[in-house]
Amino acid sequence: MIGGVTPERALARAFAPGRTALVAYLMAGYPDRATSLASIRAAAAAGADLIELGVPYADPLADGPTIVEAAQVALAAEGGFGLAATLSLAAELAEDPGMPPIALMTYLNPMLRYEFPRLAEDAAAAGVGGFIVPDLPPDSPMTARWQQEAVQFGIDTVFLAAPTSTPARLETVAAAATGFIYVVSSVGVTGERGELPPELADLVARVRSWRTSDVPIAVGFGISTPKQAASVADLADGVIVGSAIVRRQGDPAEVGEFVRALARAVHGA
């Protein structure tokens, strides 16, 4: 709380009742700052309900080749494009009228280097509404330290549920997550896949069975076509598309066209 007032949680705006949200992942600073800005704005204008802004990082354990390559290009830019530069980018985007909520997808090491108290304050000032941190377990002391800072600024922390998650882990994730629960559709790293796993509906149902609040459930990893997005929209509150967008990110017009097709598929489901 700030001055006795609970800050508004921005990510809640992405998940309207009765309407599945489209979460569009784009890499900050790829292939350069100006083009990444243009592509993010194109995705927002085309119907993305939430922007998941990837922070370039040298050891992205959850990411596949497309996103890894994009991160390497951004990191290799003059001065490098890391967490501080991503916050600056988010702040510029947040000033746009109609810009959907922004969540950062990052890893623990950059957060530790930045230091939690300063990061939470700077992220809130930049208009960031949430953090997705694949290597931050929901039950670790480090998580408690981060959330103690984040909650003061209304920043949500999204945790991941995977096909390999035990019932105990699903219970922990469901209890700890704010903003939404990120359901990983299949084992492995991010990337486009020809087919979604047949057991996805069961996984979403298992996550929902452990949920004790109305926190939304969004599914990501492997969703690469409007048809796949529509099928996932029948199961979950949100559909996350990343690598298929990042692959087009060098051409903002192509990003807009593709996201518009995804939005029609997701919102019409």
Q: Which residues are catalytic?
A: 52, 63
- In angstroms, the CA 197 to CA 184 distance is 11
Task: Answer yes or no: are the C-beta atoms of 53 and 39 closer than 8 Å.
Answer: no
Q: Provide the β-strand partners of residue 65.
A: none
Nearest Cα residue to 128 out of 160, 92, 98: 92
Give the other-Cβ count within 10 Å of 106's Cβ: 26
H helix or E strand, kind and range, residue 61: none
Report the phi/psi class of residue 133: left, alpha or beta, with left for phi > 0 and alpha for psi in -120 to 50.
Answer: beta
